[in-house]
Amino acid sequence: MFRDKPTNMPGKNQIWKKFISNGNLDDQLLLPAEIADSWLRCSRIALNPGDGRGQNILEQASVRSMLEKNQEIISIAKPFMANLYEFFRNSGFMVVLADANGYVMESFGDRDALSSARKLHFVQGASWRECDVGTNAIAVGIVTGKPVQVSGAEHFCLKHHWWTCSAAPIYGADGQIVAFLDLSGPAKSAYSHTLGMVVAAANAISTQIGIQQKNYELSIMNKHLSSIFNTISDGVILFDRFGRVKEYNPVAKKILGKSADIACGTPVQSLFKGNDQLIQKMLSGKETYTDVEFQPDGKNSPSRCAISGEIIFDKQGGINGGVITLRPIEKIHSLVNRLSGHYTTFKFGDILGSSRAIQDAVLQAVAAAATASNVILQGESGTGKEMFAQAIHNKSARRNGPFVALNCGAIPRELVGSELFGYEDGAFTGAKRGGRPGNFELASGGTLFLDEIGDMPLEQQVALLRVLQEKKVSRVGGHKVIPVDVRIICATNKDLGKLVESGVFRQDLYFRLNVFKLEIPPLRDRREDIELLFKHFVQQIGSEQGREIKIEADAQQCINSYAWPGNVRELNNVAERACNLAGDGVIAITCLPPEVSSLRQNREIITGNREIRQICLQQELEQINSLLQQEHGNISRVAGMLGMARSTLYRKMKKYSIFH
């Protein structure tokens, strides 16, 4: 209960009166430093020491906003406030919770204490800051950030001298002050241990806020992990220490197939028949495994997969469960294709040429791309058959699938089968441990390009025909049948019809492949494209070298008249050689290989008229001589007047035996 008069605290009451009357704090050593500092601040703002009632009270809308903002803190603090109050029940005390700015959020206590607090406007929404009500525990705590106790005459305002208050800060999960816990009551009941109890309660609230924040973060993390678990492209199965399924994601169910009896509590071994020993070793903690191929038994199983298993151990080293991941084999093959270069770069727009022959070939190829039929590309070496194959793939419905190329003529005949169809572990001496998928498996969902198909051994032609008919493949040394979905594009520089007649190529395979047959014209049959292609290659190479390269007319005429037995590939190689030899940035005849630059080996006349050519050369000789005499042998000036490089002028002077 409160007394009608303030508590008589020897010494401090007299110090307060003296300070209020003349502002003298000569006896400030008798006061705690934080109290003396607070008095001085209150005096400087001319705060009325005879009052102490709260004048700054929030509107109801602002109170609701404050309570909503601090709802979590209030709900955590309330049980601790109730426990603290139990120690002071019926002793005139009240417990108060203020926000970090000193506004009262929650309070409860004895009826008399709450009634006296209302007379001071010590109510919800009231500001208990120093600038509003003078020195008090909450206000000093805001300034110092530390626990504090203010009793009796230590308060700056007279109406507070009947009170003692102890306050301590409450910290959020980030270490910042978020609220203050205050215990206020009659000054006559002030005890030093009261502050310790408030501090203990505030620390407990701070700890609980931190725990709740951690729980929230764990909840968010758990939601993230659950989202990843349910949306990850791999199947995941979690099992307990007894080998029973605890949890699985939708992808695992899809990979194992609808007929798989997967459910929580299902023994893991029952899901992976045929791999019992491997699973048992894992469950006993003896062995983990990575990417072991597995074919689910269910009829509705979508595809094969690669399974990996790992054991989870507890602190004592005992088995506490584990995890199995299932990865669709198509995704692995897609990754392998991407990393091994099994992708395409050429499209129909990259096939250059304005000749009728090449335009017709492109039109036929575009038509073939719109179908799923097999294609044979026939043409001489170097005509760009693989470019056509890639363009057909990129225009087809399989453009997002792999493009796998195999040169049948570059592989030893005994290895063609293993390259095409793959092999199992131990299938032959030197076989890779664990086996290896073949090109048919790698190309599943896409295109398999078989270059030099005419060089394929007869025994492999039989196997290829069977795969094309059944759309299934068996690895060398294996018995499992693997479904494949592959489009075949073949290329050859031989006449397959004649190979069939001679018995080197199977007729039934030829008919199976020969749905679309495209003839790629040689370069000599599309002469109007030679100059276009050569200039394109020169520009491309020059761009890579960071310089502009020009072509002399004589050199271009040699290029145009040459027969090009090596077709576009030879033309590209000659362009690269010429660019590398064009030291002054100009491709001259001397930059070309002898077989191209030799006029005797060219069937067509370079200039079209030898006499006119001779006259032109004579005129050029006289012009150079005349300018050299005019400019007194200044090579730089003469070269500028002729619009050519100095090196070009030197070369012409050497050609005409001009000496200056």
- The pLDDT score that the predictor gives to residue 274 is 64
- The pLDDT score that the predictor gives to residue 272 is 76
The residues near 633 (Cβ < 8 Å, ≥ 6 apart) are 660
Is it the case that residue 117 has pLDDT exceeding 50? yes
Give the least confident one: 157-161, 211-215, 233-237: 233-237
Query: Six-digit token pair at 197?
Result: 């109890």
Query: Of 369, 416, 377, 364, whose CA–CA distance to 394 is shortest?
Result: 369
Query: What 3-state DSSP class applies to 34?
Result: helix
Q: What is the dihedral of CA 389, 395, 397, 403, to 10 degrees?
A: 40
Better-scored residue on pLDDT, 382 or 416: 382
Is it the case that residue 452 has pLDDT exceeding 70? yes
- The pLDDT score that the predictor gives to residue 258 is 57
pLDDT tens for each residue of 69-93 = 999 999 999 999 999 999 999 889 9
Is it the case that residue 4 has pLDDT exceeding 60? no
Residue 338 binned pLDDT confidence (cut-offs 50, 70, 90): low
Instruction: Give the number of other CB atoms < 10 A from CB of residue 205.
Output: 24
pLDDT tens for each residue of 634-652 = 888 887 777 666 767 777 7
With beta carbons less than 8 A apart as the criterion, state whether 453 and 412 touch.
no
Average pLDDT, the chain: 85
Is it the case that residue 414 has pLDDT exceeding 80? no
CA atoms within a 13 Å half-sphere pointing along the CA-CB vector of 167: 31
Phi, psi of 26 (to 5 degrees): -65, -25
Task: Measure the CA–CA gap between 338 and 404, rounded to whole angstroms.
Answer: 10
Query: Of 370, 447, 445, whose CA–CA distance to 406 is shortest?
Result: 447
Query: Of 303, 356, 301, 354, whose CA–CA distance to 327 is shortest?
Result: 303
Proportion of the chain in helix, strand, coil states, percent, rounded to 5:
45, 15, 35
Task: Measure the CA–CA gap between 150 and 159, rounded to whole angstroms.
Answer: 14
Query: Six-digit token pair at 555?
Result: 């050199």
- The pLDDT score that the predictor gives to residue 615 is 59
- The pLDDT score that the predictor gives to residue 432 is 64
With beta carbons less than 8 A apart as the criterion, state whether 262 and 256 touch.
yes
> Tokens 């709740």 label which residue?
212
pLDDT tens for each residue of 351-374 = 999 999 999 999 999 999 999 999
Rounded average pLDDT over 322-338? 70
Domains and CATH numbers, the chain: 12-213 (3.30.450.40), 233-330 (3.30.450.20), 340-521 (3.40.50.300), 524-597 (1.10.8.60), 610-655 (1.10.10)
Is it the case that residue 428 has pLDDT exceeding 70? no
